[in-house]
Amino acid sequence: MSRCRFSPDGKLLAVAGRRGYVHLVDWSAGGAQVVGSLKGNSAVNDLWWSRENEGELMTLGEDSQIYTWDVRAQRCVKRWKDDGGYGALVMGGDPLGNYVAVGSVSLFLLQHLN
């Protein structure tokens, strides 16, 4: 549970758990209550919230799979693999939500999302 990110509005906290789980914590009420979970195929190395597409969370798995989640529906809407990636560690994106960057041991991938 060392990886976590707040949504752009600060109301939800996404926390990477074990075995590919991401727990969604409602931070707005002050009670820090878990309101849902997402499940990928491998441990989550990083998380990134889109600022433009509200309710969209991206996760980077240790298998270099990148998931785009619709947090409201709690389902995956897109998934792809960084084929050249080895040891993918960090992910980030531009403020408009058009690009995502993945940093790994062997390369740096810049993927256009639209």
**All domains of the chain in start order, with CATH:** 4-112 (2.130.10.10)
pTM of the full predicted structure?
0.81
Cβ(16)–Cβ(59) below 8 Å: yes
Query: What is the torsional sign of CA 81, 7, 9, 77?
Result: positive
Name 100's bridge partners. 93, 111
Sign of CA dihedral 85, 114, 96, 59: negative
Which residue ranges of the chain lie beneath pLDDT 70? 1, 84-87, 97, 104-114
Tokens of 28: 């707005």
Looking at residue 10, the DSSP 8-state letter turns out to be S
- Single out the residue of 67, 92, 61, 62 nearest to residue 79, CA to CA: 67
Q: What are phi and psi of 111, to 5 degrees?
A: -115, 125
Give the Cβ contact number of residue 1 at 10 Å.
Answer: 9
Q: What is the pLDDT of residues 42-59, one digit of tens each?
A: 999 999 998 777 789 999
Specify the pLDDT at position 84: 66
| CB-based contacts of 75-78 (< 8 A; 24+ apart in sequence) | 76/38, 76/40
